[in-house]
Amino acid sequence: MSKHAYVFPGQGAQFSGMGKNLYDSNDSVKSLFEQANDILGFRISDTMFSGSEEELKQTNITQPAIFIHAVAAFKTIDHPQPDMVAGHSLGEFSALVANGVLGFEDALQLVSIRAKAMQKACELNPSTMAAVLNLSDEKVEEICNQIQQETGETVVAANYNCPGQLVISGSKAAIDIACIRMKEAGAKRALVLPVGGAFHSPLMSSAREELAEAIHAATFNHPTCPVYQNVVAKAVNDPAAIKKNLIDQLTGAVKWTQCVQAMVADGASHFTECGPGKVLQGLVGKIAGAAIMVDGVN
């Protein structure tokens, strides 16, 4: 039986004007945005609709903004019945609202705590990320391991986005060396990304501790359908395991390629991306091939 998967984007999908069309055309979305403004204690909707690119790039704005937009987009679908859900990094929180594990308010508060904790971790450790194109995952991992052994600096594979696109994360010094080594090994490109820190690496451990405390205190319900979580790349239904994987994700890799492959293996034939942009639609197409139906709501 063919199954319908709903997927939710992460940081990097933001743009000025995000969500405004939904806000203007849908009363329930408007009230969701106003609820978010009240929960956060400032009008994030104003920044989403008319903020500069620079303002929207700040982690403590970006993460709640993308989360709100993604949940709003999902709620505009008539009677959505996901057979499975997944989110890319931050998108995992939107996925957990979609399958009933978290209520909107609790999830937004966790996202806000996560964003602020990650911002602080970025300030503690000057660090960054880089995209490596057209080099095998195994080669990228091998080069990262070599650099860590030689220098003692942190550099790890962080985002397995699709075959031939892997993002690495670490200290600025280690990323600079890695970019040179990746190109020497045959990478088409090794490009430092405009991000504030080394997400999904051990350099986020201070943020992980802060988020863990908040997640342990939150109520997680039993899901209406499985969530394919980034760090394990398989279906998860147990609320305690969902909590653990959500915490581990801050310092662990986003195995997006493997998540999509697992969903297809479990019967997914239709993927719908909910939220800003079309990044995941592109990645799913590259991972799963033309036989899979892919669309989006934004």
For residues 249, 251, 252, 256, the Cα torsion angle rounded to the nearest 10 degrees is 60
C-beta atoms surrounding 168 within 10 Å: 31
List the strands of the sheet with 268-274, edge to edge. 235-236, 227-228, 84-87, 3-8, 268-274, 293-297
Strand-pair partners of 166: 132, 160
C-beta atoms surrounding 136 within 10 Å: 14
**Contact indicator for 5, 271 with CB cutoff of 8 Å:** yes
- The three-class DSSP label of residue 16 is coil
Which one from 45, 89, 127, 201 is the annotated catalytic residue? 89
- Strand pairing class (165-171; 293-297): unpaired
For residues 13, 17, 18, 20, the Cα torsion angle rounded to the nearest 10 degrees is -170
**89 carries an active-site annotation:** yes
Six token digits for residue 273: 């991306």
Q: Which residue has the tokens 């090794």?
A: 190
**127 carries an active-site annotation:** no
Six token digits for residue 143: 């080069």
- Strand pairing class (189-192; 165-171): unpaired
- The three-class DSSP label of residue 274 is strand
Q: Give the gyration radius of the chain's Cα atoms.
A: 18
- Strand pairing class (268-274; 293-297): parallel
Which one from 4, 69, 88, 200 is the annotated catalytic residue? 200
C-beta atoms surrounding 1 within 10 Å: 5
Please give the positions annotated as active site.
89, 200
